[in-house]
Amino acid sequence: MLEKNPVIFIILAFLVIMVGTTVTMIVPFKWINGPGDLIAGVKPYTPLQQEGRDIYMREGCNNCHSQTVRTLAADVERYGYGGTYSKSGEFVYDRPFLWGSRRTGPDLAHIGLKFPDPMGAWHRKHLENPQSVVPASNMPSYAFLNQPLDTTYTERKMKLLKFPYTQGDLDEVKGKTEMDAIVAYMRKLGTDIPIKKAEAATQPTGNLKNPYSDLKGVKAEALSLFAKDCAVCHGENRQGNIGPSLRGSAKSDAELFAIISNGRGGMPSFGSSLDEQKIWKMVTLIKLGKHDD
């Protein structure tokens, strides 16, 4: 019967595929993004951020960048930047989601925490010419984003997505470039979730004492730490790039320690990701390593 009647066959096949569909795709609508998932601090995108998100989609950045910190310890350590793993509530305004399936480049879910500079100087330099900050990068150059942003649909987008906005928000978008928009989007990612705070900001007082008075013993480790965490802003050889040159410094050890620990302006804080010993080792490298590579 079944083998002979194509109409019955098609209906049956449809029903069979709908079983798994219902359980794993339709039923979960009941919970996902429900009140239990919401996170108080998470705000919808501003007009400029949403324009930036649309440019992110247009350029297909999602083909190389994911946007979810998995619950794995290594993921949290690498991409959490003080936040923990990703939760549903962080994405309730994302239409579509942009989690991606490949990490040709690093995860960007919390990238706003990694580069706190409000002007986005690092992002601009990096997007214009990624190899100028990370020489071995294979990310394409996006210098062409320095062109006027088309704002024709900005207001309609906000209405359609049901995001709140003010006339001021809309005025802010006028005269901006596409680069401004995508940087605003990068700056927002991850910044409205609760993060682990570094213990009360370190004060550069006299009782902060550098335990390392000799560069020799710490040089190798300090260089490797520097390459990992600092080179993207201060240059491969500490010659300076977005951040100032760190080949020697007039500042005191304690001052340097405090800046690295607390951050300042475009300089992120490392107090929660590097322990004191490591920070001191880098202070030693900065102070004494004027001619060392």
Partner 1 sequence: MNAPTRYIDDSVKGFIIWSIIWGTVAVLVGILISLQLVWPQLNVAPYLTYGRLRPIHTNAGIFGWGIGSFIGLFFYITQRLTRTPLWSPGLARLTLWLFNIGIASAAVSLAMGYNRTKEYAELEWPLAIVVAIIWVLFSINVFMTILKRREEQMYISLWYIMAALVGVTVLYVINNLGVPLNFFKSYSIFAGTNDANVQWWYGHNAVAMVLTAPPLAIFYYYLPKVTGNPIFSHRMGIIAFWSLIFMYLWTGAHHLLWTPVPDWIQTLAMAFSIMLIAPSWGAVFNGYLTMNGQWEQMKTNYLVKFLICGITFYGLQTLQGPMQAIRTFSAFIHYTDWVPGHVHMGALGWVSMVLFAAIYYTVAKMYDTDIYSVKLADTHFWLVLVGQLVYSITMWVAGVQQGSMLLATNPDGTLHYSFMETMIAIFPYYKMRAVSGFIYLAGLVVFIYNIYKTAEKGNTQLSRASQP
* 148: β partners: 177
Q: Are 193 and 83 in contact (CB under 8 A)?
A: yes
Chosen residue from 19, 40, 200, 250 binding partner 1 by CB under 8 A: 19
**Residue 59 lies near partner 1 (rule: CB under 8 A):** yes
Name which of partner 1, ligand HEM, ligand HEC, none residue 267 binds, using a CB cut-off of 5 to 8 Å depending on partner kind. ligand HEC
Name which of ligand HEC, ligand HEM, partner 1, none residue 111 binds, using a CB cut-off of 5 to 8 Å depending on partner kind. ligand HEC
Residue 245 tokens, joined: 């040159």
Residue 215 tokens, joined: 């560069």
CA dist 109 and 236 (Å) reads: 25
List of E strands, 146-193 = none
Chosen residue from 43, 102, 197, 209 binding ligand HEM by CB under 6 A: 102
**Residue 280 lies near ligand HEC (rule: CB under 6 A):** no
Q: Are 283 and 210 in contact (CB under 8 A)?
A: yes
CA dist 174 and 152 (Å) reads: 10
**Residue 1 lies near partner 1 (rule: CB under 8 A):** no
- Draw the binding track, 185-224, toward partner 1 (x: CB under 8 A; -: no contact): ----------------------------------------
Residue with smaller CB distance to partner 1, 77 or 171: 77
Q: How far is the CB of 58 from partner 1 (least distance, A)?
A: 4
Residue with smaller CB distance to ligand HEM, 104 or 224: 104
> CA nearest 257: which of 277, 229, 236?
277
